[in-house]
């Protein structure tokens, strides 16, 4: 009888570095998928919690876990995620961020379609809301799907604050980001027009100083 007694080296559970928070739990996922599953099982002690195992990669087989709550999550979404993972033809999945690019709906858009997090409490909260979580072995980041546009403006600290303060901060966060993007687009447009209108005269001035100017009047 042969028994595998090899011990896999892995780092212990540490404090979150990317999504650090003031309120709430401080721990983050690790690169060991079994450790991450134990964290989720400890946080969600529910008989309806389901964990489906898949192996992705033709040359290097990577363990992938699909985590969801059976009576909360739409079964069609689970089947869609399973089909996309089973249809993948890749040699290896190095990280969850690469897996997201392989299973997203539209690969040409610049906007993210899946939420990636290192926080177990955010992962657990999303499962309770009916979303699907994906854990990838050798990756400390988990995947949450589906994700809406407003979900990228949410912070875990919003849940641990009073609802009035959390709503105010969330609206400030959204308005500031939208205004900042709009301001930049208007500013860049004005600068483009001004540069196109005055570039010829400015370059002609420099040409008087240096006759061999490499720039074109059209800039």
DSSP code string of 3-38 = --------PPP-B-SSS--SSS--B---S-HHHHHH
The residue from 102, 130, 156 where one domain ends is 156
The residue from 156, 180, 199 where one domain ends is 156
The residue from 156, 171, 192 where one domain ends is 156
Q: How far is CA 106 from the centre of its chain?
A: 15
The pLDDT of residue 195? 52
The pLDDT of residue 219? 43
The pLDDT of residue 218? 45
> Are residues 75 and 165 both part of a single domain?
no
Structure tokens at 21: 């928070």
Higher pLDDT, 155 or 77: 77
> Are residues 60 and 99 both part of a single domain?
yes
Number of C-beta neighbours around residue 112 at 10 A: 13
> Are residues 130 and 209 both part of a single domain?
no
- 149 backbone dihedrals φ, ψ, rounded to 5°: -65, -40
**pLDDT, averaged across the chain:** 80
Which letter, b or e, does each residue of 76-106 get, where b requires 16 or more Cβ atoms within 10 Å of its Cβ? eebebbeeebeeeeeeebeebeebbeebeee
- Asked whether residue 19 is assigned to any structural domain, the reply reads no
Domain enclosing residue 66, as ranges: 33-156
Counting the structural domains of the chain, the total is 2
The continuous run of DSSP H or E covering 129 comes out as none
Q: How far is CA 189 from the centre of its chain?
A: 30
CA 44 – CA 102 distance, rounded (Å): 29
- Asked whether residue 112 is assigned to any structural domain, the reply reads yes
Residue matched to tokens 């600068």: 191
8-state DSSP, 100: H
This model's pTM is above 0.85: no
- The 10s digit of each residue's pLDDT in 161-206 is 877 887 887 788 777 766 666 556 565 655 555 555 555 555 555 5
- Asked whether residue 167 is assigned to any structural domain, the reply reads yes
């Amino acid at each position: 009888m042969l028994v595998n007694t090899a011990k896999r080296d892995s780092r212990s559970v540490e404090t979150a570095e990317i999504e650090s928070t003031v309120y709430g739990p401080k721990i983050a996922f690790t690169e060991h998928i079994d450790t991450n599953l134990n964290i989720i099982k400890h946080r969600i002690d529910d008989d309806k919690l389901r964990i489906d195992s898949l192996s992705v990669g033709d040359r290097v087989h990577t363990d992938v876990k699909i985590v969801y709550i059976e009576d909360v999550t739409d079964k069609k979404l689970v089947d869609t995620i399973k089909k996309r993972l089973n249809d993948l033809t890749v040699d290896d999945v190095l990280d969850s961020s690469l897996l997201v690019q392989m299973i997203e709906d539209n690969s040409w858009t610049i906007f993210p379609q899946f939420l990636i997090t290192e926080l177990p409490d955010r992962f657990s909260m999303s499962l309770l809301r009916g979303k699907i979580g994906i854990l990838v072995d050798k990756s400390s980041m988990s995947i949450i799907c589906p994700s809406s546009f407003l979900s990228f403006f949410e912070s875990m600290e919003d849940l641990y604050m009073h609802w009035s303060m959390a709503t105010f901060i969330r609206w400030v966060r959204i308005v500031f980001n939208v205004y900042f993007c709009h301001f930049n687009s208007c500013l860049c447009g004005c600068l483009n027009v001004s540069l196109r209108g005055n570039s010829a005269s400015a370059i002609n001035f420099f040409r008087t100083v240096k006759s061999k100017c490499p720039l074109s009047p059209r800039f």
